[in-house]
Copies of this chain bind each other. A is one copy, B any other.
């Protein structure tokens, strides 16, 4: 049943980089890490579950903000060491700053310039 997990080449810490891409628009929303457990939970639940390296804990994306990522399809690369998730981004916001995508800074004239609007105030997103 878990043969598909054995095809994956994990890092030394047992992690796999996972890219979340909006299945409709093609926007790359974020990159995060998955453990075998978080990946299995992702498949089982149909929603993205990552491994938070800072908190060293399972992290169901959107569990605080409500901005869950519904899995559309999962794509493994040729080397088996990177994963692409095509997702439906609930709420339309992936970034904890309230922007749509985490990749909102663009390199221009040797500077990273924030180019995307803040769609929702983070204090609104994370209030209990």
A contact residues vs B (CB 8 Å cutoff)? 1-4, 7, 17, 19, 21, 25-28, 30-31, 43, 73-79, 82, 84, 95-97, 99, 102-107, 110-112
Contacts and interface: CB of A to CB of B under 8 A. Distances in A.
B107 A78 contact: no
Given A28-B21, A28-B28, A95-B78, A84 B103 contact: yes
B7 A74 contact: no
Contacts of A104: 75, 77-78
Contacts of A28: 19, 21, 28, 84
A17 B31 contact: yes
A105 B75 CA distance: 5
Nearest to A82: B31
Leading 4 A-B pairs by shortest Cβ distance: A26-B26, A75-B103, A31-B82, A77-B102
A19 B31 contact: yes
A32 B110 CA distance: 22
B43 A107 contact: yes
A97 B28 CA distance: 24
A20 to B, nearest CB: 10
A10 to B, nearest CB: 14
